Structure 1
Amino acid sequence: MKEKDTCKSCNSIIINNFCSNCGQKIYDKRFTIHSFFMYLLDALDINKSFFYTIRMLFIKPDKVIYDYLKKGSTISYFNPLKYLLIISGIHIALILTLFYDEGEKIIDIDSTNDLEIDMFIEQLIELFAENIHFMPILFIPFFSII
């Protein structure tokens, strides 16, 4: 028997694209960077509607909202909750990797005479600096009013 005719997991005979013994899917194609990104997009359930939604939100955001809410045309657009989570994840990853130390440069506290106020302000600034990547998510309700 050839290596291709047996399952790599349980060494049983392969029928069609699945192992008849363990049910593992048989992959005949070579693993590449392109196939990795395709598997990643598939795992996140990102298809062309994700990129179409991004494009349309930049070009015609009013049309997206009208189509989705008024007309009920949801099939051509990406799920809003998944969109929010993925875009927020990308945003947080970029902020943490690119601008991690920028918050320390911005923070410059003028010292007051009251030590308790200084401590409170320092703790508040540290809290905001540590959680700055969550701020866009918290501001979504305010941005939706605009």
Structure 2
Amino acid sequence: MSHSTRCLNCDAIASNVFCSHCGQKTDTHRITLKHFVFHDILHGVWHFEKGILFTIKEALVRPGNAALDYIAGKRIRYYNVFYLALILLGLNIFLTHYYDSLSEVYENPISDVKNNAAGMKIASFMSKYAKAILFSFVPLFALKSTLLFRRRKLNLSEHFIVAGMIFLGIVLITVVGTLFSFFDFTYFDSISEVAEFVFSLLILFYVIYSYYAAFKSDYSVWGFSWRMLLFLLFIIVELFLFFVLLFGFVTHWKFGSINYHV
């Protein structure tokens, strides 16, 4: 192993272990089978997983503080929150699709929703654009927190980071909740019903807890409470408007006539 005075990647003068220009290590070595297996592969995979596990732990345990740490510049230990959320969203969509497939086998394949043309169109739209719809919560969360929690003096992009970390936690909780839904196909199907209620409350508590952890030092309990209440009311209004617009779109704005035959 040798240390070069010039970076072999960008040819800049390098006096430390890492090049100050591009960040590549300055120590060089022959690539051997032992080094390739134990360093390039295992070491790389370990650091990749370590970053993911650390980010998941932070998103679940201290999402508000973790987001503020990231904004403050403590970023090297975190895996990209939005990439990780996309991976988990894909997993949740796969689990949901698998659950729907099992439902057609174990339950009555002709359900009320399938007999409802509007219901089928809504289900198809939600399935096709699931990731885009769910990710739209991030800018909506960021806009609301920018308006309601201004004393921290974060800009909109920084509120995106807070919203992204919270969104990651919501997706993690949702994935676990989806796994519990598979109890529907066992003798313990009542567990899935209880889990659905519990995880809905858990997500609500998680959102409140996350924003409280991030902004509690800027507001009194009352000041935070009424802001959070407005935040949740905005979410309800947004969801209502979304479903009204979606229903209007799939029914060609004929709300009074619903076709129940495919």
What TM-score do you get using the length of structure 1 for normalisation?
A: 0.50
**Of Structure 1 and Structure 2, which has the larger fraction of its residues in helix?**
2
Q: Which has the higher contact order (CA 8 A, sep 6+)?
A: 2
What TM-score do you get using the length of structure 2 for normalisation?
A: 0.31
